[in-house]
Amino acid sequence: MTRLVIVDDDPMVRTGLRLILGGEPDLDLVGEAEDGRRAMEVIRALRPDVVLMDIRMPNQDGLITTELLLAQPDPPRVLVLTTFDADDMVLRALRLGADGFLLKDTPPPKMIEAVRTVAKGEPVLSPSVTRQVITAATGGRGPRRPQAQRELARLTEREREVAIEVARGSSNAEIAECLHMSVATVKANITRVFAKLGTDNRVQVAMKVRDAGLL
């Protein structure tokens, strides 16, 4: 059973998420908070596995709250919810170590799948968010193709295929199905891609794939 806490200053959003997630037998919505300060109290008391975190909130925003949470021992997974698919705060949350990013208008089945994926320790990146984060991070400039192509040339053909799927925002399970691999093999390939490209997360991989012109 995955224990969840929702953190959002909009009561309508919290209600919607409660309706979407509350009926799933493997998800237990144990608490809610309307801002970051209250969230810290709720999370310390309830110790959830996953926190659905809004970014823009009064008193203490989601960025500060995420940073404080992830500095603690054995922190929960943080799935950032954003209304904006091009938001510099999403980039900042990524650097802080958030486990995933979803738009608030993500269809309910995808929302449920994302929570389950993050709970298993796998990152989730909404394809729309991924594209906008890459564009924002590169300042809208043209791709740095020669350097990126040299870096991608270090990958095997299979690793390159996995990297491209990562750049498309696919989860490990989706990559496994698409490329006819086991999830364990996908994880092993992603680990090698990170090492060969000198990257720490999926968005960095996606940026290099984009720069190399492979999307």
Record the tokens describing residue 141, joined without a space: 């400039």
Neighbouring CB atoms inside 10 A of 57's CB total: 23
Give start-end residues of each CATH 1.10.10.10 domain in the chain.
141-211
Evaluate if residue 36 carries a pLDDT over 60: yes
Please write the tens of the pLDDT for every residue from 178-212.
999 999 999 999 999 999 999 877 877 888 888 88
pLDDT at 7: 97
pLDDT at 148: 86
Euclidean distance between CA atoms 162 and 178, whole angstroms: 10
Please write the tens of the pLDDT for every residue from 82-110.
876 555 676 777 777 888 888 888 889 98
pLDDT at 120: 86
Euclidean distance between CA atoms 137 and 144, whole angstroms: 13
Euclidean distance between CA atoms 186 and 130, whole angstroms: 19
Give start-end residues of each CATH 3.40.50.2300 domain in the chain.
2-136
CATH number of 2-136: 3.40.50.2300
pLDDT at 131: 62
Task: Say whether 80 sits in a helix, a strand or coil.
Answer: strand
Euclidean distance between CA atoms 47 and 87, whole angstroms: 29
pLDDT at 27: 96
Whether 17 contacts 8, CB under 8 Å: yes
Region 24-30 average pLDDT: 95
Region 18-36 average pLDDT: 94
Domain 141-211: which CATH number of 3.40.50.620, 1.10.10.60, 1.10.10.10, 3.20.80.10: 1.10.10.10
Please write the tens of the pLDDT for every residue from 146-190.
888 899 999 999 999 999 998 887 888 889 999 999 999 999 999
Whether 115 contacts 50, CB under 8 Å: yes
pTM greater than 0.85 (yes/no): no
Euclidean distance between CA atoms 148 and 207, whole angstroms: 9
Please write the tens of the pLDDT for every residue from 39-73.
999 999 999 999 999 988 988 999 899 999 988 88
For the stretch 191-195, contacts whose Cβ atoms lie closer than 8 Å and that sit 24 or more positions apart, written own/partner, are: 192/155, 192/159, 193/155, 193/159, 193/162, 193/163, 193/166
- Give me the phi and psi of 134, to 5 degrees please: -60, -45
Record the tokens describing residue 73, joined without a space: 């021992």
pLDDT at 135: 61
Phi-psi region of 180 (alpha: psi -120 to 50; beta: other; left: phi over 0): left
* Helix or strand holding residue 50 (H, E): strand 50-54
Give the full edge-to-edge strand order of the sheet including 27-33.
27-33, 2-7, 50-54, 77-82, 100-103, 124-125
